[in-house]
Structure 1
Amino acid sequence: MPGLAAADAVLEGRTLRYEDGPRLLWQRTYPAALGDLTGPLNVGNLTYLGVGPEVYVLNADSTVQARVDLPGLVASLDASSGTVRVTTQGDGYTERFTLGDAAQGAPVQERVVPPPNPEITGWLARAADAVPQSELAQAAAQDPTNPFLALRQARLVGIQGDTFSALSAVRRALSAEMPFPAWVMLAGRLDTAGFPAAANLALDRAKRDAAERGFDPEISVSRDTLSAYGNPSGYVGTLLAQSRLTRAGAWLAYLRELHPRFEGGPALYLRYAALLDAQGRGGEAEEWRQFTRTLRSGTLYNLGPDGTGQVRDAARLVTLALLLALAASFAALVARAWRVQGEDTRPLGGRFRSLLRRPLSRARRTTLAYASFGERLALVTLALGLVAAVGGWQWTNHTGQGLRAAALTSGTYGGGWVTARLSDLNLRPSPDAALLAGLSAQLDGDDGVARAQYTRAQTTGAGQEACALNNLGVIAAQRGDVPQSRESYRAALAIRPDLAAAAFNLGLNPGTPSTAFQQQYRPGQPRLCYPDQRSLARAVSGDLSVTLRRDLQQPLALLNDAPGQSARLGAALLGALALLAAIAFTLLIPRAATDARLRRPAVYRVLALLLPGAALLEGAWGGVLLLAWGATLAALAPLTGLISYAGLLNPAQVTTRNLLLAVLIGVYALNTLAFALIELRHARNTRRERAER
């Protein structure tokens, strides 16, 4: 570093003054909206000043020589070691960066991952917008590194009719260096200003910058994250509303290449396809639909990006169906046992008083005590299904919450912000969590930690082991050990033959969108393997059996509200477990009365007709009819407005409603036929018994 110059920069309040002794050479005031100021740090004839999340390198004549975009607010500047080091402060984390030669733009030596925070990613645009129009020319001359200032100039001179100057200003804007979220914001403004070709170039710069920073199309992106990264999906929605399909197609191509798995993506793709259909471009529309279908691969049960929502709706439907089936069964059993139970409990003090006076004797005369063993076993099966359904509902809530966590939906792994949020998730110790931790470390350049985590991930023959082997091969390739890297790739393919990353690294060219992205935007670099949604779900909450085992070990924890966990749903699960235990206990109680004594009361017969399968629990057909009836009614329940299965089915649609009604009619028809056959058999048996007497 050159020695300190005679003139020094000093900071007074929010004004940076460059003084040569008592003489003021220049000064610049920074608005409070730009954030805290840090420094200045005088190094030779250069001045380093932290402004919010930026470090400006200013020449002695006050012009900006370089600007450094950092992922957090600048907390300190230091050059005591001979190089300029910057400390940034984020939300619960601190990062340190080393700046290179200012003549080369002061490049950051470490990986910089912009956090999904609009205050950080939108800083450059806000700084340009804060400049009054009367000072725009001076501000643009002093800070040629801010492209938003150049774009404002382009729009201003364009309004005045100076097309040449406008295009020159646009070219200056496109020559800047900045993180990809700022490029996306710039592209949107270029589009709005009437420079679509320049907007396309800005989007291409955004993709290249994102690829260099470790962002990848295999990683999901939440709606909030995408909004902080320039909100391209929101802009696409605006373009589609205006029927500007050409521009919408350009922006959707950006999303498809870099963030294809963004939240709400499938709906937006299908909306675009429908508009293409309306214009007679059916081939293009079908291609977008096909692309949307490919996004299901690797998701939970291959249901698509919102698979947890569909599984949750299925669990809710099954829960309601089983509740209806259990209620119908109990109603039928109560109707059949009511008279005999009253006779048996009269000596004990009556049907209800005996519960307090003679509880043990009364326990042998509960309604289920009058049911046959087969009927009780059927009820145990229904209750067991109810526990699994409510537990599955709880599991999907927890898993869905985890999969939507910001750390897993920011488009990349690693970096200070993602690492801090990842630690907040408290992932289960598992091979899948180890794979995720290893990938984060590898992207941040910590190969030692990455190797240790990948070793932990290699405990099964499943996909995470193949992924870990591929990534170990990437580490070997980057240190020049080509034979070892190829051996790792082959081992990964042997475990998982469909692993596109390993195939790509072996030169097999699998032709997937992710490998095409790698080939275009990271040419010559081996491809990493990223965990799919199924692996992330296991890392977040494990399988359903893991969740149920945890709930059984800590039942009172179910009554606490927590992210992804409802206290009411926890209470429902405890209630289902209690019901299962109570019904299972009745299997040990001898039957209190025979069928001959119970007979078939009129109310019981009416309920047998109204509640299909409720009076047929002894046989398999009874259970089938009962579950079919309960499931059909549960599927029709959204028509009441009390419940919905938005991700599963919509009975308000005529076709769906008619199909469900047809099933319901069929269930009642079969139940009526079975009821008639049973009544005939019962009548025949009764006549035979009378004849024998």
Structure 2
Amino acid sequence: MSRSCPNSLRLWGLLALLTLPGWAGADAVLEGRTLRYEDGPRLLWQRTYAAGLGDLTGPLNVGNLTYLGVGPEVYVLNADSTVQARIDLPGLVTSLDSSSGTVRVTTQGDGYTERFTLGDPAQGAPVQERVVPPPNPEITGWLARAADAVPQAQLAQAGAQDPTNPFIALRQAKLAGTQGDTFSALSAVRRALSAEMPFPAWVLLAARLDSAGFPAAANLALDRARRDAAERGFDPEISVSRDALNAYGNPSGYVGTLLAQNRLTRVGAWLAYLRDVHPRFEGGPALYLRYANLLEAQGRGGEAEEWRQFTRTLRAGTLYNLGPDGTGQVRDAAQLVTVALLLALAASLAALTARAWRVQGEDTRPLGGRFRSLLRRPLSRARRTTLAYASFGERLAIVTLALGLVAAVGGWQWTNHTGQGLRAAALTSGTYGGGWVTARLSDLNLRSSADAALLAGLSAQLDGDDSVARAQYTRAQTIGAGQDACVLNNLGVIAAQRGDVPQSRESYRAALAIRPDLAAAAFNLGLNPGTPGTAFQQQYRPGQPRLCYPDQRSLARAVSGDLSVTLRRDLAQPLALLNDAPGQSARLGAALLGALALLVAIAFTLLIPRAATDARLRRPAVYRVLALLLPGAALLEGAWGGVLLLAWGATLAALAPLTGLIGYAQLLNPAQITTRNLLLAVLIGVYALNTLAFALIELRYARTTRRERAER
């Protein structure tokens, strides 16, 4: 009996399948937006899809199953109209095909196309290739929008037709809760948590569960989101922009809502998710510090200091270790230095002009006058420019200031270009590879450098194309003229995945020898370094070797190179500076050209013999007044003169935001009392030192004058 009973059940099951409409020649057809399942002239069932769900593709009939593309989803329906599986794809479905013996799906994104192979529908029709959800709310929020579009009166019917959409189940749970049916509400929540979804949908579901009063279920949804993100190749080492995070469920926005409601316990749970998966999201450090301050206000100083320390660890690998938003600080510093140098140059030229004015007028009178001589006798007039009356030391100081101005304006241009490149969507989506990122990377026009080759190799490796990855890594080492630690680590990962353990460990050791602080190689050798990335790897990708991801410095080199590279490029194509381009302002380009022209003109004066001696120039009254008002401008012969002049210019530049004409939002705020008082104290000190130096110079000049008169 124990053997015949199962055989009888199998026989009855086979007979039942044979009597299904799909086995009797029934087929699915699409008429407009209505899917009809017909057995000859007899309609067995039909289902209409709202226009807001997107274009419909198919249907594709395979046996007694029907595949239908709806927006970015593929639904697999049984012959009795029940949904057997739902496949979430990263683009709008454009075609379904089974001619090769397997079901192939083509999706269309913004400028790219991807093709995927679906597996056994009995197992949920898993996609055989890597699926990377793009940071596009139209794609990642499709399930929630589909559920929100269902009228409340049709919730029960929609839940029966599509049991795979957890947002419909959550709406049913909320409705049951308002009706006092706690058991039905909890049952619907359990159904919602039993779904399979990409992590952006899990995050969005978690926020709705949290706001609906199911915090434990929200925590479970966040854990599902962590695991799904890890499985899809997302990593905490890769930055995430605010736009991308919004498309991935907007967890930071929900944290802001919780903070406004003073629900710190729930804030901790959500920040823990961000800390695990997207710690380097745009605006993250400010949000972490805000949370730390709230914890400290509640007497939880230990937790607050832990979050502050975690925020400090995010500075490693960034530009000058300034943090994820360091390019903004570098840009503000370049602006401040530019203004300071402009003030210093203007002050020094004003003082030199005041001293040479009388003598220059006497010398140019025979040539036709100070201004007419510019046209009548240009060469002779060039020997009598203002700087021609300055000493060689003074001219050299002016040339140094002009050279600094070129570097400062070039640095300003460089930070604009680099900052925009680092904020590019392809580099701030939380992962590399996938159709969307690959298409956006090609738009960046990265420099042909070892860092760009590393990025391309990593993208290919994450997508499972090891042959392309190896080729790119070899190219990176060729361009870099040497071995790169990150490349060696990733080559070791490829060797480990093909079973060559000795080769992989040799690569890890070589990488660690080049960079002893490389956490990925140390993790792969079993040294267990305590970093957020390795902790994430150990918990959510156990047993898998860790890849090395390029840090912000490497990405900056791939985007724009060093400042010297930018200046060389600008000098090679100076007219290109006048064009508006991504990360480049035409006005700033014109300023850089002007600074270059000024440098050349001032440097030319180094070749001109001095037109008059100090004895002839003397110290006019206007020159003395400017020497008092413009600290250091009359002391350029000595080293302290340049120091005083730069300190004066930098202090005034730092105070300039008080005028409202310029600002350094990420560097300093002189409107703060402490900052303003400190700057004013420095300015008073500069004037005091300059006055003392001026008095000593005047005393020496008076003694010299008296001695010369006595000798006469």
- Report the TM range for the smaller structure's normalisation: over 0.9
The answer to whether the 8 A contact 1:116-1:410 is kept is yes
**Partner residue, 1:431:** 450
The answer to whether the 8 A contact 1:273-1:289 is kept is yes
Inter-CA distance 5–255: structure 2 relative to 1 (3 Å threshold): farther
| Secondary structure, counterpart of 1:194 in structure 2 | coil
Inter-CA distance 549–397: structure 2 relative to 1 (3 Å threshold): same
- Partner Cα separation in structure 2 for residue 542 and residue 604 of structure 1: 45
Q: Shift in Å at residue 298 of structure 1?
A: 0.7
The answer to whether the 8 A contact 1:560-1:566 is kept is yes
**Root-mean-square deviation (CA), in Å?**
1.4
Q: Shift in Å at residue 463 of structure 1?
A: 11
Q: Shift in Å at residue 256 of structure 1?
A: 0.3
- Partner Cα separation in structure 2 for residue 70 and residue 104 of structure 1: 17
User: Given the alignment of the two structures, is residue 564 of structure 1 paired with residue 564 of structure 2, yes or no?
Assistant: no
Partner deviation per Cα, 1:89-140 (whole Å, 9 max, x = no partner):
0000000000001010000000000000000000000011111111110110
- Partner Cα separation in structure 1 for residue 392 and residue 363 of structure 2: 20
The answer to whether the 8 A contact 2:236-2:280 is kept is yes
Inter-CA distance 165–239: structure 2 relative to 1 (3 Å threshold): same
Q: Which moved more, 1:410-419 or 1:135-144?
A: 135-144
- Partner Cα separation in structure 2 for residue 73 and residue 2 of structure 1: 30
Partner deviation per Cα, 1:495-550 (whole Å, 9 max, x = no partner):
00011110110111012111110000000000000000000000000000000000
Q: Shift in Å at residue 631 of structure 1?
A: 0.4
Q: Which moved more, 1:158-167 or 1:347-356?
A: 347-356
Q: Shift in Å at residue 280 of structure 1?
A: 1.3
| Secondary structure, counterpart of 1:4 in structure 2 | helix
The answer to whether the 8 A contact 1:461-1:495 is kept is no
Q: Shift in Å at residue 673 of structure 1?
A: 0.7
- Partner Cα separation in structure 2 for residue 471 and residue 40 of structure 1: 42
Alignment of 1:219-258 (within 5 A): 219-258=238-277
Q: Shift in Å at residue 654 of structure 1?
A: 1.1
Count of residue correspondences? 693
- Partner Cα separation in structure 2 for residue 483 and residue 332 of structure 1: 72
| Secondary structure, counterpart of 2:478 in structure 1 | coil
User: Given the alignment of the two structures, is residue 321 of structure 1 paired with residue 343 of structure 2, yes or no?
Assistant: no
Q: Shift in Å at residue 361 of structure 1?
A: 1.3
Q: Shift in Å at residue 354 of structure 1?
A: 1.2
Partner deviation per Cα, 1:140-166 (whole Å, 9 max, x = no partner):
011111000110110000110111111
Alignment of 1:69-218 (within 5 A): 69-218=88-237
Q: Shift in Å at residue 4 of structure 1?
A: 7.4
Q: Shift in Å at residue 460 of structure 1?
A: 7.9
- Partner Cα separation in structure 1 for residue 194 and residue 507 of structure 2: 41
The answer to whether the 8 A contact 1:612-1:629 is kept is yes
**Partner residue, 1:631:** 650
The answer to whether the 8 A contact 2:21-2:79 is kept is no
Partner deviation per Cα, 1:224-271 (whole Å, 9 max, x = no partner):
000000000000011011100000110000000000000000000011
- Partner Cα separation in structure 2 for residue 671 and residue 7 of structure 1: 98
- Partner Cα separation in structure 2 for residue 274 and residue 517 of structure 1: 26
The answer to whether the 8 A contact 1:463-1:496 is kept is no
Partner deviation per Cα, 1:596-647 (whole Å, 9 max, x = no partner):
1111000000000000000001110100000000001001111111111111
- Partner Cα separation in structure 1 for residue 380 and residue 460 of structure 2: 66
Inter-CA distance 668–464: structure 2 relative to 1 (3 Å threshold): farther
**Partner residue, 2:503:** 484
Q: Which moved more, 1:490-499 or 1:462-471?
A: 462-471
The answer to whether the 8 A contact 1:186-1:202 is kept is yes
The answer to whether the 8 A contact 2:327-2:418 is kept is yes
Q: Shift in Å at residue 3 of structure 1?
A: 9.4
- Partner Cα separation in structure 1 for residue 78 and residue 92 of structure 2: 23
| Secondary structure, counterpart of 2:467 in structure 1 | helix
Partner deviation per Cα, 1:449-474 (whole Å, 9 max, x = no partner):
10111112224889981001000000
- Partner Cα separation in structure 1 for residue 366 and residue 172 of structure 2: 98
**Consecutive unaligned residues in structure 1, runs of 5 or more:** none
| Secondary structure, counterpart of 2:23 in structure 1 | coil
- Partner Cα separation in structure 2 for residue 355 and residue 294 of structure 1: 61
Q: Shift in Å at residue 346 of structure 1?
A: 1.1
Inter-CA distance 290–464: structure 2 relative to 1 (3 Å threshold): farther
The answer to whether the 8 A contact 1:220-1:263 is kept is yes
The answer to whether the 8 A contact 2:450-2:480 is kept is no
- Partner Cα separation in structure 1 for residue 183 and residue 52 of structure 2: 34
The answer to whether the 8 A contact 2:449-2:480 is kept is no
- Partner Cα separation in structure 1 for residue 462 and residue 150 of structure 2: 37
Inter-CA distance 93–595: structure 2 relative to 1 (3 Å threshold): same
The answer to whether the 8 A contact 1:432-1:464 is kept is no
Inter-CA distance 265–144: structure 2 relative to 1 (3 Å threshold): same
The answer to whether the 8 A contact 1:464-1:535 is kept is no
Q: Which moved more, 1:218-227 or 1:673-682?
A: 673-682
- Partner Cα separation in structure 2 for residue 184 and residue 61 of structure 1: 32
Partner deviation per Cα, 1:580-600 (whole Å, 9 max, x = no partner):
000001111111111111110
Q: Shift in Å at residue 364 of structure 1?
A: 1.0
When normalised by structure 1's length, the TM-score is 0.99
The answer to whether the 8 A contact 1:226-1:233 is kept is yes
- Partner Cα separation in structure 2 for residue 638 and residue 140 of structure 1: 59
- Partner Cα separation in structure 2 for residue 5 and residue 215 of structure 1: 46
User: Given the alignment of the two structures, is residue 63 of structure 1 paired with residue 63 of structure 2, yes or no?
Assistant: no
Partner deviation per Cα, 1:10-60 (whole Å, 9 max, x = no partner):
000111111010011111111111110000000000000000000000111
The answer to whether the 8 A contact 1:2-1:43 is kept is no
Q: Shift in Å at residue 569 of structure 1?
A: 0.2
Indicate which of 250, 273, 279 corresponds to 1:260.
Answer: 279
The answer to whether the 8 A contact 1:232-1:251 is kept is yes
The answer to whether the 8 A contact 1:428-1:542 is kept is yes
| Secondary structure, counterpart of 2:74 in structure 1 | strand
Inter-CA distance 184–246: structure 2 relative to 1 (3 Å threshold): same
Q: Shift in Å at residue 687 of structure 1?
A: 1.0
Query: How many percent of aligned residue pairs carry the same amino acid?
Result: 93
**Partner residue, 2:682:** 663
The answer to whether the 8 A contact 2:241-2:425 is kept is yes
| Secondary structure, counterpart of 1:550 in structure 2 | helix
**Partner residue, 1:377:** 396
The answer to whether the 8 A contact 1:116-1:225 is kept is yes
Inter-CA distance 356–447: structure 2 relative to 1 (3 Å threshold): same
- Partner Cα separation in structure 2 for residue 227 and residue 5 of structure 1: 48
| Secondary structure, counterpart of 1:420 in structure 2 | helix
When normalised by structure 2's length, the TM-score is 0.96
- Partner Cα separation in structure 2 for residue 564 and residue 512 of structure 1: 33
- Partner Cα separation in structure 2 for residue 603 and residue 6 of structure 1: 105
- After the TM superposition, which parts of structure 1 deviate over 4 Å for at least 4 consecutive aligned residues? 1-5, 459-464
Inter-CA distance 253–619: structure 2 relative to 1 (3 Å threshold): same
The answer to whether the 8 A contact 1:399-1:564 is kept is yes
Partner deviation per Cα, 1:396-431 (whole Å, 9 max, x = no partner):
000000000000000000000000000000100111
Q: Shift in Å at residue 2 of structure 1?
A: 14
| Secondary structure, counterpart of 2:36 in structure 1 | strand
- Partner Cα separation in structure 2 for residue 244 and residue 354 of structure 1: 77
Inter-CA distance 465–3: structure 2 relative to 1 (3 Å threshold): farther
The answer to whether the 8 A contact 2:449-2:479 is kept is no
**Partner residue, 2:438:** 419
- Partner Cα separation in structure 2 for residue 305 and residue 435 of structure 1: 21
- Partner Cα separation in structure 2 for residue 459 and residue 420 of structure 1: 25
**Partner residue, 1:622:** 641
**Consecutive unaligned residues in structure 2, runs of 5 or more:** 1-19
